[in-house]
Amino acid sequence: MEHGRVLLDHGSGGEASQRLIRELFLSRFSGPSQPALDDAALLDEIRGPLAFSTDGYIIDPVECPGGDIGSLAVHGTVNDVAMLGAVPLYLSCAFILEEGLPLPLLTRLAQSMADAAAAAGVRIVTGDTKVAPRGAADKIFITSAGIGRVIAEPAPSGSRAAPGDAVLLSGCVGDHGLAITARRGGLSGLEGIRSDSAPLNRMVEALVRDVGDLHVLRDPTRGGLAATLNEIARQSGIVCRVRETDIPVRDTVAAGCAVLGLDPLYLANEGKLVCVLPRHKADTALSVMRLFPEGRDAACIGEIAAPGADGKAGQVVLRTRLGGYRLLGMPEGEQLPRIC
- Give residues 151-180 in contact with a copy of itself (rule: CB under 8 A): 155, 157-159
Task: Tell which one of 74, 150, 257, 328 touches a copy of itself (CB under 8 A).
Answer: 150
* Choices 38-46, 61-69, 191-199, 279-287 (CB under 8 A): range interacting with a copy of itself: 38-46
Per CB under 8 A, 25 contacts a copy of itself? no
182 and 116 Cβ atoms separated by less than 8 Å: no
Element (H, E) at 200: none
Q: Which is nearer to a copy of itself, 48 or 192 (CB)?
A: 48
166 touches 282 (CB < 8 A): yes
174 SS3 class? coil
Stretch of 74-82, 177-185, 203-211, 281-289 lying at the interface with a copy of itself (CB under 8 A):
74-82
Whether residue 301 contacts residue 243, with contact meaning beta carbons closer than 8 Å, is answered with yes
Which residues have CB under 8 Å from 181's CB, separation 6+?
A: 187, 190, 260, 262, 336
How many angstroms from the chain centroid is the CA of residue 235? 20
Q: Which of 107, 100, 184, 109 is nearest to 135 (CA)?
A: 100
**CA dist., res. 122 & res. 114, Å (int):** 10
Question: Least separation, in Å, of the C-beta of 248 and a copy of itself?
Answer: 21
Kindly state whether residue 135 participates in binding a copy of itself, applying the rule CB under 8 A: yes
Nearer to a copy of itself, 66 or 266 (CB): 266
Q: Is residue 185 near a copy of itself by the rule CB under 8 A?
A: no
Could you give the CA distance from residue 336 to residue 257 in angstroms, rounded to a whole number? Answer: 13
Residue in 33, 47, 186, 261 binding a copy of itself, rule: CB under 8 A? 47
The interface with a copy of itself within residues 250-269 (CB under 8 A) comprises: 268
Q: Which amino acid is at 265?
A: L
Rounded distance, CA 142 to CA 152, Å? 29
Q: Which is nearer to a copy of itself, 109 or 251 (CB)?
A: 109
The order of strands in the sheet holding 216-218 is 216-218, 274-278, 165-169, 299-305, 239-243, 316-319, 325-327
Q: What's the min distance (Å) between Cβ of 230 and a copy of itself?
A: 9
Min CB(309)–a copy of itself separation in Å: 25
Cβ closer to a copy of itself: 40 or 322?
Answer: 40
Site for a copy of itself in 206-225 (CB under 8 A): 218-219, 221-224
Decide whether 33 or 188 has the Cβ nearer to a copy of itself: 33
Q: Which of residues 87-106 bind a copy of itself (CB under 8 A)?
A: 90, 92-96
Q: How far is it, in rounded angstroms, from Cα 272 to Cα 16?
A: 40
Q: How many residues bind a copy of itself (CB under 8 A)?
A: 90
* Shortest distance in whole angstroms from residue 27 CB to a copy of itself: 17
Residues from 282 through 321 that contact a copy of itself (CB under 8 A): none
